[in-house]
Copies of this chain bind each other. A is one copy, B any other.
Amino acid sequence: MVPSPARHQEEVKKVFTEFLEKKKMRKTQERFAILEEIYNIEHFDAYSLFVNMKDKNYRVSRATVYNTLELLIECGLVKRHHFGANFSVYEKAYHYRQHDHLVCMDCQKIYEFCDPRIQNIQEMVQDMYGFDIEYHTLVFRGICQACESKKQNSSPGSSRTTSTK
């Protein structure tokens, strides 16, 4: 059973609190403000997070955003992705089903999908190469349905039956 959003929020805070206590690190306002902010977003990058928080009149520095993200990754509450651009994309990771990503090369939107077969591939690789796998990254890049139909409508002289290029 998936916990309710509010309950979930509390659980996440508890996880981070215990993590910080175990590491004998301080429970600062900034760290929890960042955690709270993150748990309202789907996918985000460090700079947007920083700007969003500034806009909401939190006073956080870039350094703290990066440092806290690092901590949240370490304790498993956040995942970092390198989706090909020159910056990292992050997402919350607690109690979130295993999934992989579809990135639209046109609108840059990120979609999620699940497929258990990746697990099988992982096991095969583990056995065949003696590789002790920690995690995987699977990204499909292409054009999403929305952008595809947008293109079809706007391209002048394109017929519905001929494929464009």
Contact = CB atoms under 8 A, between A and B. Distances in A.
Classify the interface of chain A: helix, strand, loop or mixed: mixed
B131 A143 contact: yes
Copies of this chain present in the complex amount to: 2
Interface in A46-63: none
A136 B118 CA distance: 13
A138 interface: yes
Contacts of A104: 131
Interface of A: 82-86, 102, 104-105, 111, 113, 115, 117-118, 120-122, 124-125, 128-145, 148
Given A84-B137, A133-B141, 7 more contacts: A82-B82, A82-B84, A121-B138, A122-B140, A129-B144, A132-B148, A135-B140
